Amino acid sequence: MQTVTSDHGTSIEYERRGDGRPLILLHGGMAPRQYWEPVVPHFEEYAPIVPQRPGFGTCLDDPGETGPDDVVDREAEYVRALVDAVDGAPILLGHSFGALTAFEAATDAAVEAVVGYEPAVLPENYREQADLADRMQALIDDGDRREAVKRYVEQVLHPGGIDDLDAWLSEWPVWPACVDLAEEVVRMNRAVERYRLPGRLDVDAPALVLTGTDGPGFLRESARAVHEALPHSRFVEFDGVSHSGPAEAPDAVAAEIDAFLQPRR
């Protein structure tokens, strides 16, 4: 593992594999950096760089100092630190909250291209009613961290409902260890609930926005909105793929990304 320090003093651990074009993989939500394991083998011509997000491990020096209004800025800052640490202009690839971070970082970082799978952006009408952070916090305050995390899983991963959530969780690789992240997920969700997508994202680099037909409808809507806010963007939708697209369909997602990047070799 290697370490880089942001301007704010946050230490970020990351692993680099290979010697090709640098490809920074930014995980989101409850996922650990191991989320990318299924897709990394499909990027043999690249050098995947896999960081552990601040706050989702041991990287955030003082989580208490970071309020919801600062979260996106702080995460974009650590991505820029990673960009500066690698040789040449890297490619950013983010999933969910990592995708939001990737596009925000790319407004002020020298990157070759930026790719985001279903950025964690809420449509205006949905955002006005969003209360997941408050509901999770209430459960945490009552001493029920496990139920708080379940509310996140239900709303974000299975918004259409699920017959047996406990059975699904028993097969989820990060359960129940992810319960330890409850406060960090609340902070992240509150940041998402407050984030307003600008009419234009000032990203000079070519962008690719990805989504899947089986994911949450509000994220599909937001993926389209992010695409339209970018000056140089391509939009791709995968049929029958959910919000976990990069891990669920790594071959299809990686092939689309590689095809997008090929003209820039």
The average pLDDT across 62-74 equals 63
35: confidence class by pLDDT, cuts 50, 70, 90: confident
SS3 of residue 146 by DSSP: helix
Based on C-alpha coordinates, what's the Rg of the chain? 17
Q: What is the pLDDT of residue 69?
A: 58
Helix pair 145-152, 132-141: axis angle to 10 deg = 170
227: confidence class by pLDDT, cuts 50, 70, 90: very high
For residue 141, give every residue at least 6 positions away whose Cβ sits within 8 Å of its Cβ, in sequence order, or none: none
Q: What is the pLDDT of residue 67?
A: 55
* 46 to 14, 38, 39, 72, 101: CA distances (angstroms): 16, 15, 12, 27, 21
Q: Mean of the per-residue pLDDT values for the chain? A: 87
Q: Where exactly are the structural domains of the chain?
A: 2-124+196-264
CA-nearest of 59, 42, 50 to 22 is 50
> Which residue's structure tokens are 């919801």?
68
Taking 90 as the threshold, does the pLDDT of residue 174 lie above it? Answer: no
* pTM of structure: 0.88
Whether 108 contacts 87, CB under 8 Å: no
In a 13 Å sphere around the CA of 200, the CA atoms on its Cβ side amount to 5
For residue 90, give every residue at least 6 positions away whose Cβ sits within 8 Å of its Cβ, in sequence order, or none: 21, 22, 23, 24, 49, 82, 83, 111, 112
Taking 60 as the threshold, does the pLDDT of residue 82 lie above it? Answer: yes
Taking 90 as the threshold, does the pLDDT of residue 13 lie above it? Answer: no
Q: No. of H helices and E strands in the chain?
A: 10, 8
Write the single-letter amino acid at 88. G
Taking 70 as the threshold, does the pLDDT of residue 244 lie above it? Answer: yes
Digit-coded pLDDT (tens) for 43-58: 999 999 998 776 654 3
159: confidence class by pLDDT, cuts 50, 70, 90: confident
* 54 to 10, 32, 34, 159, 189: CA distances (angstroms): 8, 11, 15, 27, 15
Q: Which helix (H) or strand (E) holds 95?
A: strand 91-95
Tokens found for residue 240: 């029958």
Paired strand residues for 48: 23
Whether 243 contacts 217, CB under 8 Å: no
> Which residue's structure tokens are 């899983």?
153
Taking 90 as the threshold, does the pLDDT of residue 139 lie above it? Answer: yes
Taking 50 as the threshold, does the pLDDT of residue 61 lie above it? Answer: no
Q: Which CATH class is domain 2-124+196-264?
A: alpha beta
| Number of C-beta neighbours around residue 97 at 10 A | 28
- The Cα–Cα gap between 59 and 79 comes to 13
Q: What is the pLDDT of residue 48?
A: 95
- The Cα–Cα gap between 250 and 120 comes to 20
Q: What is the pLDDT of residue 33?
A: 67
- Highest average pLDDT, of 56-70, 94-108, 183-197, comes from 94-108
How does strand 11-16 pair with strand 113-117? unpaired
